[in-house]
Amino acid sequence: MKRRLTAGVDEVGRGCLAGAVIAAAVILPDDCTIVGLADSKSLSPQRREELDRLLRLQAVAWAIGRAEPSEIDRLNILQSALLAMERAVAGLSIKPDRVLVDGNRLPKLTMPAEAVTGGDGCVPAISAASIIAKVARDREMAVLDGFASGYGINRHKGYPTLLHRQRLDEQGPSLWHRYSFVPVKRVVGQLRKGSGRATP
């Protein structure tokens, strides 16, 4: 009898002021021996890196999907997060028979799917997706820090910390910020007022 393949899906970066929202889809083997899978937010950066390495080696398949800041500004963050999830599932080298998604909303998929609230903490495949997505995004934000210098992105990964908001006030937003998010929109409005331009 053919085994049914289940993919777990999760996203990271929904609450950030800068950078893409990134999702991962992971199909784990039935005999997965990786210990300590959990919600990526509950793990140390070092432990996430260790688990990410093991997951990429042992997973039946994994893929990453993303939605860029320009898409977030155009679609809104919820629809962009769902789009990133949809792209992650589409990127899998093996089509799963069903998909389990963290949260209470489902992306558009061609196979049966179920939303699992708190799934990143109790469903191993979703935990795996949470970890791979988090590590991928953190690495990307470390690279982005070199392009958008001065915001401390490598420290806060784009989240609206006090440091980030202070630097945003001082420097204005970069090309990688989400202009539809209120803290960024507020700074843009202040800059336009200061330059004598009418705000939209």
Mean per-residue pLDDT for 133-159?
Answer: 96
> What's the pLDDT tens digit per position in 30-63?
999 899 999 999 999 999 999 999 999 999 999 9
Q: How far is CA 47 from CA 1, 10, 51, 68, 128, in A?
A: 36, 18, 6, 27, 12
First-to-final CA distance of the chain: 61
pLDDT value of residue 194: 67
* pLDDT band at residue 146 using 50, 70 and 90 as cut-offs: very high
DSSP secondary structure letter of residue 179: T
Residue 173: Cβ within 10 Å count: 21
- Locate the domains of the chain by residue range: 6-147, 153-194
Res. 184: pLDDT tops 90 = yes
* Both tokens assigned to 172: 């204005």
- What CATH number has the domain spanning 6-147? 3.30.420.10
pLDDT value of residue 190: 87
